[in-house]
Amino acid sequence: MADGTIGGGPDPGNGARSATAYEVVLLRHGETLGYDGDHGLTPRGEEQARARGKVLAAGIAPSARVLMPHARTSRATATALTLRAALLAEGVDESQLGELYPEPHFDNLRFCLEGEVVDTSVAVGARLALGTGTPEPDWVREYDRFDSDYAAVAAAGGPIEYWTHNPMLYFEPPQLASLRTWLGISALGPALAAAGAELALVCTHSAPMRAFAATTLGEDLGEPENLEPIRVRVEDGTARVDYRDRTVTTRIPQPPAWFDRAWLDGYGR
């Protein structure tokens, strides 16, 4: 993430911020106990969240208020809890920090399981519950192409690498994961304004982050590390996205007509 104060004060890119300016920092969850279900963090994952909290705390302006939405999985929730505790431990006043709250726009990768949209953490449970020798539905074969390890390979991003580059029928496509992330970022504008805040720290997942970065920057930079940030500064409908050594300024996209905007906004609420 670029150096400097976040969530208040002048924008080093173009002078004073407008009244509508705000910042969103997308963060991948910490190392998790596994990918064969909805698990929390390992001790290393908790330490990753504390370390990122220390870095973020040093850049939060003393007057800044912060919102903390997160994906609805156990690992994203645990990351947000640990991150918030770390911010407090580093001297960010509790009055500056909003309470944690789940935000479906920043959900993990979604999957269509027998006609129902679910988190992949649910889909993998359904996959593992099927006994050997039973007829396999088409979605099982597709899930097995995506992941059959649920551990080291999954942690290294192998399944997301496959998903990013191979069309599939039952997984949410990368462009949709990117668009709903943009919807979440857009929706944070009025939410931040209502709270008198200019900064949101969002604990989410590698799939939407990777798709967001690839579609915004025009190339896939690979798997985000645990707690690696993507920084998005929004002002008057334009966003400046900073990720690793790349920066791009873009208009905030809207979903095309072939995606159901009402469904995207309503799912999970």
Q: Is it the case that residue 151 has pLDDT exceeding 90?
A: no
Closest to 111 measured CA to CA, from 122, 102, 100, 103 = 122
Write out pLDDT tens, residues 52-86: 999 999 999 998 999 999 999 999 999 999 999 99
- For the chain, give the percent of residues with pLDDT over 70: 90
pLDDT for position 6: 74
- To the nearest 10 degrees (0 to 180), the angle between helices 120-129 and 138-146 is 110
- To the nearest 10 degrees (0 to 180), the angle between helices 138-146 and 158-165 is 120
Q: Is it the case that residue 12 has pLDDT exceeding 90?
A: no
Domain ranges of the chain: 22-107+173-266, 110-165
pLDDT band at 225 (very low <50, low <70, confident <90, very high): very high
How confident is the model over 171-187, as a mean pLDDT? 98
pLDDT for position 30: 98
Fold of 22-107+173-266: Rossmann fold (3.40.50)
Query: SS3 of 37, please?
Result: coil
Is 227:30 a contact under the CB 8 Å cutoff? yes
Closest to 26 measured CA to CA, from 99, 107, 88 = 107
How confident is the model over 96-108, as a mean pLDDT? 98
DSSP assignments along 64-98, one per residue = --EEEEE-SSHHHHHHHHHHHHHHHHTT--GGGEE
How confident is the model over 140-163, as a mean pLDDT? 83
Q: From the CB of residue 18, how many other CB atoms can be counted at a distance below 10 Å?
A: 11
DSSP summary character for residue 113: E
State which H helix or E strand residue 190 sits in: helix 174-195
| Beta pairing class for 229-235 and 238-243 | antiparallel
**pTM recorded for the entire structure:** 0.92
